[in-house]
Structure 1
Amino acid sequence: MKTLFKIVLISILSINLLDTASAQTEKQIRDAAKIAEGKEQLDNRTFTFQARYMYPLGGGQRYLNTDYDVRVTKDSVIAFLPYFGVAYSGAGYNSNEDNGIKFTSTKFDYKSELKKNGIRYVTIRINDSRTTNQLIFNISPNGYTDLSVNSKNRQNIRFDGMLNDKSKTKK
């Protein structure tokens, strides 16, 4: 009876170990595919950043439950992001065009740099927006992204999110 119990116990443990190893392998394959997809999109200069959190310079963190994003293609940058912070002189209050960070740019400079730790820094200097100067993306290999938005007449603001987050893409 004891030997039968030992055999059953060893069998259950073996099956459990094999199942865990298989799940790890599948996760590694999915992660590798996601990394390759993100790298290809960054190399082609076509990606979408989905914002999940915003961090105003004045402090505090705000969760974003609406689809806010920045879409980058070879010939345009389209930003639709919220803004919460201090506006300086020349910034309008209570006008529809000055609420949030909303612009479409076709005149921009794109610079991408890959660091040794796998983090890619993408800097986009906007040349035809009257409010936004620069977008700085820090993109990890698995798609987690930190975006800093530098403005001409507002405090800078930072966003966290994902590159091409399929769960929040617009249909």
Structure 2
Amino acid sequence: MRTKKQIFILLLALLAGIPTLSAQSKKEKKEQKKEAVMKLVESENYKIDVNTAMPMRGRSIPLTSSYSLEIRNDSVISYLPYYGRAYNIPYGGGNGLNFKAALKEYSTETDKKGNAVIKFIARNPEDRYEYRVKVFPNGAASIDVNMQNRQSISFQGELEVKED
């Protein structure tokens, strides 16, 4: 009878300790993700997969195809859809936000909340694009694009983090 009582108390103690163990591992995983995200941003070699477009007018548009913004050292590969008003574009609509160009005025800083804020300018024969990318510690990202010949547009997505 006494051994059953001891086993019961031991099991209760183990069950009480399990949530604290899992909470620590969640906290550790969160820290590891934050470090991996910041390392990627600092490397200037990353890709953001976009899943929502938010034009200036109208509601947000969930994207079903795979769109992305990729930074590779000194260049940007933008494969993003455009929804909005264009003021001065080439005949036939042009390429919109689908281009590869050199980065200009690239800067990275960290705001008060620990988010990485990346700003850069890209040009192609069609337009001049000012990007402001905000990457959160959990890997979520928001992209704001201002253009000279079109209305601004924003996107939401996720930083592509390669798991080890």
- Considering the TM-score relative to the shorter chain, is it more than 0.5? yes
Aligned partner of 2:139 among 133, 139, 143: 143
Task: Identify if the C-alpha distance between structure 1 residues 162 and 66 changes in structure 2 by more than 3 Å, giving closer, same or farther.
Answer: same
Decide which structure has greater strand share: 2
RMSD, aligned CA: 2.5
Residues 1:19 and 1:158: Cα distance change in structure 2 (over 3 Å): same
What does residue 15 of structure 1 align with? Answer: 14
Name the structure 1 match of 2:115.
Answer: 119
List aligned pairs for 1:31-70, cutoff 5 A: 31-70=30-69
Structure 2 contact 88–149 (Cα < 8 Å) conserved: yes
SS in 2 for 1:106: strand
Aligned with 1:29: secondary structure?
Answer: helix
Distance 2:76 2:119 in 1: 12
Structure 1 contact 79–102 (Cα < 8 Å) conserved: yes
Offset at residue 102 of structure 1 (A): 0.4
Is 1:162 aligned with 2:161?
no
Identical pairs, percent: 25
Instruction: Tell me the number of residue pairs that the alignment of Structure 1 and Structure 2 aligns.
Output: 161
Q: For residue 70 of structure 1, what is the amino acid of its counterpart?
A: L
Match of 2:82?
83
CA separation of 1:19/1:65 partners in 2, compared to 1, >3 Å: closer, same or farther? farther
1:30-80 Cα shifts (integer Å, max 9, x gaps) = 221111111111112111111121111002011112211111021210010
Give the direction of change, closer, same or farther, for the CA distance of 1:11–1:54 in structure 2 (3 Å limit): farther
After TM superposition, give the deviation of residue 86 of structure 1 in Å.
1.0
Unaligned runs of 5+ in 1: 167-171
- 1:17 shift after superposition: 3.2
Contact persistence 1:50–1:165 (CA under 8 A): no
> What is the DSSP-based 3-state SS (H/G/I as helix, E as strand, rest coil) of the residue aligned with 2:155?
strand
Is contact 1:125–1:134 with CA below 8 Å preserved after alignment? yes
* Structure 2 unmatched runs, 5+: none
Q: 2:99 aligns with which of 93, 96, 103?
A: 103
Offset from partner CA, 1:93-122 (integer Å, 9 cap, x none): 4x5x42x41010124220111122212210
Q: 1:17 to 1:86 in 2, by over 3 A?
A: farther
For residues 161 and 63 of structure 2, the distance between their equivalents in structure 1, rounded to whole angstroms, comes to 14
